[in-house]
């Protein structure tokens, strides 16, 4: 089973494609240990940066689960699968030095479990980010995830976090990073763009080993009684419904960059079958963040098992499914002619006509 699940991100091998992606359950060492023991192929720790405002934001953070009618439901494993999560989040509360020490200690456990431990920085200021990246490399960590596409930059204090929207700027940032570190870097980019493949191309062109696509979007839900936005403002929103958007970006990026570019899918994966869907769209590995924060670390174990079951049933390895659906995408004009087929998809007109006559 373990060989069938193996995948690669650039030169790094993962024992399986399920990545425990960062959110608040990855702040404490206990959470990261739980994700490692749950069997994820890689575990990304809660991000850090130098911004006091970004840390302050965590202490003002708020989280809500909404059902399909936008009514709140209790936070926890009993929440329906169709839930939308709306959040304001912030940075790791730990000072960088303590965070780095904790991450290095956790990397020892991760190595023993054949898990890739991934430190994550979020771009606040470039100079500080370069300094922290160097420290990450000097500490012997094996990879660095650099998030330049959080949903919150337009809402947060200036310089706290970044939502980079220009390919030229992505290229410049990654070039600067590559000039100071030689460890593999994964660049996490925004989904708040119609140019996700171009952003990815810029990151790879400047030396990224992988691109994580794509960050969540901002949204706002008005409350019908208070006439105010739910949780007071615009929020990062996520849910199962994000999966098709992620798969679309993965497929377009694969078409643009070719199969050699290792893409990591994130945003909307709930379980192992969703991971398979993102892999079919072109991901070499798939992050699961909020579903594990909401329901617990068992989500990760179940995702690995479910993906293994799917692959066994198909008689394929993880690497053999990557990009299969993306590569069979066709244009609308290539679709077969089905004259008047559209009529089967509109409401019945009979009753309406009788009333009007
Ligand atoms: C509460 C919360 C906190 C998050 N914190 C981080 C973070 O520190 N660093 C990061 O790169 N992404 C962070 N994310 C984004 C997730 O890693 C992930 O990209 C996003 O939630 C979409 O994936 P999902 O559908 O599996 O949740 C956070 C998301 C949530 C909901």
Specify the residue with its C-alpha closest to ligand 1, atom 12: 22
Flag whether pLDDT at 216 surpasses 60. yes
Mean pLDDT, residues 27-56: 96
Tokens of 202: 């810029």
Per-residue pLDDT band for 352 (boundaries 50, 70, 90) equals low
User: pLDDT for 296-305, tens place per residue?
Assistant: 999 999 999 9
Q: How many whole angstroms from 77 Cα to the centroid of ligand 1?
A: 18
Q: How many whole angstroms from 246 Cα to the centroid of ligand 1?
A: 14
**CA–CA distance, 202 with 205 (Å, rounded to integer):** 5
Mean pLDDT, residues 25-52: 97
pLDDT for the residue 177: 98
CATH code of the domain in which 332 resides? 3.20.20.70
Mean pLDDT, residues 228-245: 96
**CA–CA distance, 29 with 27 (Å, rounded to integer):** 7
pLDDT for the residue 355: 63
Mean pLDDT, residues 222-242: 97
List alpha helices for 206-345, DSSP H: 243-257, 272-280, 290-295, 298-314, 318-321, 324-327
268 C-beta closer than 6 A to ligand 1: yes
Closest ligand 1 atom, residue 212 Cα: 19
DSSP summary character for residue 281 = T
Q: How many whole angstroms from 170 Cα to the centroid of ligand 1?
A: 20
- For the chain, percent of residues with pLDDT exceeding 90: 91
Specify the residue with its C-alpha closest to ligand 1, atom 9: 47
269 C-beta closer than 6 A to ligand 1: yes
Flag whether pLDDT at 353 surpasses 80. no
Q: Please give the residue range of the domain that contains residue 222.
A: 2-356
88 C-beta closer than 6 A to ligand 1: no
User: pLDDT for 114-164, tens place per residue?
Assistant: 999 999 999 999 999 999 999 999 999 999 999 999 988 888 888 888 888
Closest ligand 1 atom, residue 288 Cα: 26
Flag whether pLDDT at 278 surpasses 60. yes
User: pLDDT for 311-343, tens place per residue?
Assistant: 999 999 999 999 999 999 999 999 999 999 999
CB 90 within 8 A of CB 60: yes
User: pLDDT for 75-86, tens place per residue?
Assistant: 999 999 999 999
Specify the residue with its C-alpha closest to ligand 1, atom 5: 23
Domain count, the chain: 1
Specify the residue with its C-alpha closest to ligand 1, atom 23: 267
Mean pLDDT, residues 11-39: 98
Q: What is the 3-state secondary structure (H, E, C) of 1-31?
A: CHHHHCEEECCEEECCCEEECCCHHHCCHHH
Flag whether pLDDT at 183 surpasses 70. yes
Flag whether pLDDT at 289 surpasses 80. yes
């Amino acid at each position: 089973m373990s060989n069938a699940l193996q995948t690669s991100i650039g030169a790094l091998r993962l024992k399986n494609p399920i990545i425990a992606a960062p959110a608040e359950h990855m702040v404490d060492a206990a959470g990261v240990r739980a994700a490692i023991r749950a069997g994820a192929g890689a575990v990304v720790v809660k991000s850090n940066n130098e911004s006091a405002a970004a840390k302050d934001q965590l202490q003002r953070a708020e989280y809500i689960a909404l059902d399909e009618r936008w009514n709140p439901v209790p936070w926890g494993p009993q929440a329906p699968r169709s839930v939308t999560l709306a959040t304001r989040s912030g940075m790791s509360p730990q000072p960088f030095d303590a965070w780095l020490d904790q991450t290095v200690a956790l990397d020892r456990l991760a190595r023993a479990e054949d898990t890739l431990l991934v430190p994550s920085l979020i771009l606040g200021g470039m100079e500080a980010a370069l300094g922290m990246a160097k420290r990450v490399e000097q500490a012997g960590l094996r990879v660095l995830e650099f998030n330049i596409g959080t949903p919150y930059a337009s809402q947060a204090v200036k310089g706290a976090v970044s939502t980079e929207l220009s390919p030229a700027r992505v290229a410049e940032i990654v070039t600067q990073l590559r000039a100071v570190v030689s460890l593999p870097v994964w660049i996490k980019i925004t989904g708040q763009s119609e140019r996700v493949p171009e952003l990815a191309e810029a990151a790879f062109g400047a030396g990224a080993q992988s691109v994580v696509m794509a960050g969540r979007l901002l949204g706002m839900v008005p409350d019908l009684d208070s006439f105010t936005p739910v949780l007071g403002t615009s929020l990062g929103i996520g849910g199962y419904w994000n999966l098709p958007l992620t798969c679309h970006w993965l497929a377009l990026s694969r078409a643009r960059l070719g199969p050699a570019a290792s893409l990591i899918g994130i945003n909307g994966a709930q379980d192992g079958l969703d991971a398979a869907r993102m892999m079919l769209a072109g991901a070499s590995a798939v992050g699961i963040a909020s579903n594990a924060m909401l329901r617990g670390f068992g989500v990760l174990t179940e995702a690995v098992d479910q993906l293994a079951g799917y692959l066994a049933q198909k008689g394929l390895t993880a690497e053999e499914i990557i990009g299969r659906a993306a590569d069979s995408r066709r244009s609308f004009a290539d679709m077969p002619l089905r004259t008047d087929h559209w009529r089967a998809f509109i409401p019945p007109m009979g009753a309406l006509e009788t009333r009007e006559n």
